[in-house]
Structure 1
């Protein structure tokens, strides 16, 4: 495949970092965005190919437009979008406040929507594009105490399917990966929250989360990145959601 211009959101750590490394290793130009400029610079220094650091909080109105404007000024239109930025929250539904609910929707659903809205026109005009959204197994099944997170991830999977249907004849594919518990800072934050509420020790909580995957361990970020790259390479797959959870959700 020829070198493409890529944008990875939430690229400063975890899955985003792993995806950026895989894309760069495959010969693509990779623009990195997240709020933490220092983390982005560290990832950029690891990439073997061209990198562009564009710090931003993509939940802010207009920020996605500014990020893509800067990429276009340097390299031209975004050809591969990996909408990875996301966060979780945990609380019983009855104790989930409006602010927490909105925060989950803003980052996990509205931000990917804005990224697609901004990048799809150039992809369809050029007759080639790839979009991969990092969703979650929470987009496929419901679990207790993560109502806001689950709703946002179910929503983004609907967005993926609708967008894929719109652009299927225009050389653009739109897909999602649905990881289980991945060995990332986000999972570490989940472990810390559970420990704070239950008094359990971190090792036992980590084992509980690992055991949710029939594989018996946390998923490695690079295992998600490999799946993302497979969607970039294959023009015949669109509107799909691939579970990466060691067999926990079979579909």
Structure 2
């Protein structure tokens, strides 16, 4: 996205390079699982770049075991990663997007785990319905390769080259993403 001329802010708990402002790329070391850090990240981005146009949240955690083998702590982490983090980020980004009448929200998650996938899809459908008519679209991308940086690049390229993304769900067939949907 930076190569296409867009300003990009990247927030992650473990950045492979130092945090800081690198022209059109703002790198913020932060754990957005913390509600306070979500606000801190958005404040930093808004100070440097203005209102967020495109929000891309990659959900990176899934419970790998069956129901009876899943501990409460794993369940709580799944709920917060799959629903809490995207919810807090969406809630923080929407006022600026809706106020301008344009915005794109994409939640990317692994397709493993029926509950996680359905919970994320339910959140996205609910928010998309609520924002209908505001100019803000909300989409979900489910991929077995959600942790693969190449898949993230594919989604970023889709956002850059498809300014008219509709409020419908993106799939491999419609988006040309290399991963499976």
Aligned mates of 2:139, 2:77 — CA distance in 1 = 23
Aligned mates of 1:61, 1:182 — CA distance in 2 = 23
Aligned mates of 2:28, 2:151 — CA distance in 1 = 25
The Cα RMSD (Å) is 2.5
Partner of 1:34: 12
Deviation at 1:224, TM superposition (A): 4.6
Tell me the alpha carbon deviations over residues 189-240 of structure 1, each in whole angstroms, 9 at most, x when there is no partner.
xxxxxxxxxxxxxxxxxxxxxxxxxxxxxxxx43453244324523251131
Please say if residues 173 and 238 of structure 1, whose CA atoms lie closer than 8 Å, have aligned partners that are also in contact. yes
Question: Is 1:237 aligned with 2:169?
Answer: no
Question: Is 1:75 aligned with 2:49?
Answer: yes
Partner of 1:210: none
Secondary structure of 1:24 counterpart? coil
Please say if residues 123 and 172 of structure 1, whose CA atoms lie closer than 8 Å, have aligned partners that are also in contact. yes
Return the structure number with greater strand share. Answer: 2
Question: Is 1:97 aligned with 2:84?
Answer: no
Secondary structure of 1:53 counterpart? strand
Please say if residues 104 and 137 of structure 2, whose CA atoms lie closer than 8 Å, have aligned partners that are also in contact. yes
Please say if residues 165 and 239 of structure 1, whose CA atoms lie closer than 8 Å, have aligned partners that are also in contact. no
Deviation at 1:133, TM superposition (A): 0.7
Return the structure number with greater helix share. Answer: 1
Partner of 2:99: 125
Gaps of 5+ in 2: none
Partner of 2:30: 56
Deviation at 1:83, TM superposition (A): 0.5
Larger radius of gyration: 1
Deviates more, 1:108-117 or 1:79-88: 79-88
Tell me the alpha carbon deviations over residues 154-174 of structure 1, each in whole angstroms, 9 at most, x when there is no partner.
111111112122223122111
What is the TM-score when the length of structure 1 is the normalising length? Answer: 0.62
Secondary structure of 2:29 counterpart? coil
Tell me the alpha carbon deviations over residues 43-97 of structure 1, each in whole angstroms, 9 at most, x when there is no partner.
x87xxx6111111111112221111011111111111100114223322321110
Relative to structure 1, the CA distance from residue 158 to residue 245 in structure 2 (aligned partners, 3 Å threshold; closer, same or farther) is farther
Aligned length: 176
Report matched runs for 1:140-219 at 5 Å: 146=113, 150-181=114-145, 184=148
Gaps of 5+ in 1: 1-22, 139-145, 185-220
Relative to structure 1, the CA distance from residue 56 to residue 28 in structure 2 (aligned partners, 3 Å threshold; closer, same or farther) is same
